[in-house]
Amino acid sequence: MIRYSIVVPVFNEELVVEESYKRLKQVMDTTNEPYELIFVNDGSRDKTPEIVAKICENDKNVRLINFSRNFGHQTAITAGMDNSSGQAVVVIDADLQDPPEVILQMIEKWKEGYDVVYGQRLKRKGETFFKKVTAKMFYRLLSSMTSVDIPVDTGDFRLIDRKVCDVMSSLTEQNRYVRGLVSWVGFRQTAVTYVRDERFAGETKYPLKKMLKFAMDGITTFSYKPLKLSTYVGFLVAGASFIYLLVVICLRLFTDATVAGWASTLAVSLIFNGVILMMLGIIGEYIGRIYDEAKGRPLYIIREKLGFDKGDDSAEK
Ligand code: UDP
Ligand code: MG
């Protein structure tokens, strides 16, 4: 029986995937227990799938899932977890920013009886100031907006027990924010802290647009607060308008300065239109996601699976 499954999402990682395989193999071999490395190729347009297929041919512990196109990091992780069979499942980025050696500490905690062991970043090396600041702000904003206890500065680098993995697979929601879902399901959770290294090679596969979508998913799937904002702002604006209306009536009745109101009329109209559009946008973010759920499309489409039929190697170990 396979003891550990390591899930590695890869998107255009031809420069790093070989090295991450080596490091992961080195670390996992020291456990002396049967394991599998599942690379999920998220529609790479470079040599990544060929490189992994080759590794897969030569190493019976390696598996490859090829998506039909790019479905995104969170979906790739989900597919890896769905197709894993280990008693403990570890999710780790391919770029070696999360040091594979930390997996051993996670395994220790798991053996102590924890069901989820997540990696908490003490420091991030080699990332832009912008990324560090926005990430820090985002994690704190999200935790202030939701009642789910989502740990801050924690990515998807974590170990989860089989039973947690099965529960996660039974959640069919689209636009997944995996690290939030893992917190939401509960179980006994603990952290190991680590220093996030620099990317081994290549560039980040999370440009600003993907980061924004990711942040929006995190907030919308775990908080209604933005929707409530419309109510609060609505009341506030209605109250202010009422006062302004009283002022206007008084001016009309008791003075003759009512014509010179062009600037103030325009200002009020601009503010109100801005607020209304913003609120509509927020509502739209939620409706779009409801629409995604209503369509009920599969989360991902697998083009091909390699290495999954190599059978159980526990007899050799
Ligand atoms: N990734 C993916 N699909 C995507 C974007 C990224 O599978 O659409 C993978 C990528 O190959 C890497 C991990 O997700 O293994 C994290 O991406 P990256 O290191 O670029 O993000 P960052 O660390 O810069 O936030
Ligand atoms: Mg990275």
Q: What is the CATH number of the domain that holds 25?
A: 3.90.550.10
79 in the same domain as 135: yes
Tens-place pLDDT, residues 31-63: 999 999 999 999 999 999 999 999 999 999 999
How many angstroms separate the alpha carbon of residue 262 from the centre of ligand 1? 52
Cα 30 to chain centroid distance, Å, stands at 30
- For the Cβ of 128 lying below 6 angstroms from any atom of ligand 1, the answer is no
Q: Tell me the CA–centroid distance for residue 148 and ligand 1, in Å.
A: 25
Mutate to test the pocket of ligand 1, among 7, 10, 11 (most ligand atoms within 8 A of CB): 11
Whether the pLDDT of residue 78 is over 90: the answer is: yes
Strand partners for 306: 64
Ligand 1 atom nearest to CA at 72: 8
Amino acid type, 16? V
Query: Ligand 1 within 6 A of 157 CB?
Result: no
pLDDT exceeds cutoff 60 at 316: no
Indicate if ligand 1 lies below 6 Å from the C-beta of 97. yes
Question: Do 153 and 247 fall within a single domain?
Answer: no
**Do 271 and 188 share a structural domain?**
no
- Kindly report which listed range (31-40, 78-87, 257-266, 294-303) carries the lowest average pLDDT score: 257-266
Q: Is 124 in the pocket of ligand 1 (CB under 6 A)?
A: no
Per-residue pLDDT for 254 more than 90?
A: no
Six-digit token string for 243 = 């006062």
Q: How far is the CA of 131 from the centre of ligand 1 (A)?
A: 14
In a domain, residue 219? The reply is no
Task: For the beta carbon of residue 97, count every other beta carbon within 10 angstroms.
Answer: 22
Counting ligands in written order, the one closest to the CA of 52 is: 1
Instruction: Give pLDDT tens digits for 184-236.
Output: 988 999 999 998 888 888 888 888 888 888 888 888 888 878 887 777 887 78
Question: Are 2 and 312 spatial neighbours (Cβ–Cβ below 8 Å)?
Answer: yes
On whether both 189 and 232 belong to a single domain, the answer is no
pLDDT at site 147: 83
Q: Give the number of the ligand closest to the Cα of residue 8.
A: 1
Residue 5, beta-bridge partner list: 36, 89
Q: Which residue has the tokens 């905690």?
A: 109
**Window from 39-53, 70-84, 207-221, 248-262 with minimum mean pLDDT:** 248-262
Q: What is the mean pLDDT of residues 134-146?
A: 87
Residue 127 structure tokens: 């990332």
Q: Is residue 75 part of a domain?
A: yes
Who has greater pLDDT, 263 or 253? 253
* Residue at 217 is within a domain: no
Q: Are residues 280 and 159 in the same domain?
A: no
Task: Mark the residues whose beta carbon lies below 5 A from ion ligand 2.
Answer: 93, 95, 97
Range of the domain at 100: 4-205+298-316
| 210 lies in some domain | no
Decide: residue 46, CB within 10 A, 0-12 exposed, 13-18 middle, 19+ buried.
Answer: middle
Residues paired with 89 in a beta bridge? 5, 160
Q: In angstroms, how far is the first alpha carbon of the chain from the final one? A: 10
| Distance between Cα 15 and ligand 2 center (Å) | 13
Res 122: pLDDT: 83
Helical spans, DSSP H, in the chain: 17-29, 48-58, 73-82, 102-112, 129-145, 162-170, 178-185, 208-222, 225-254, 262-295
Residue whose Cα lies nearest atom 1 of ligand 1: it is 73
Q: Are residues 311 and 259 in the same domain?
A: no
**What's the gap in Å between 279 CA and the centre of ligand 1?**
31
Mean pLDDT (whole number) for 1-17: 94
Ligand nearest to the CA of 93: 1
pLDDT for res 258 = 64
Mean pLDDT for 72-101 is 94
Please report which confidence band the pLDDT of residue 311 belongs to, taking 50, 70 and 90 as the band edges.
Answer: low
Residue 65 has pLDDT above 90, yes or no: yes
Domain count for the chain:
2
Its pTM surpasses 0.85: no
Q: Which pLDDT belongs to residue 317?
A: 38
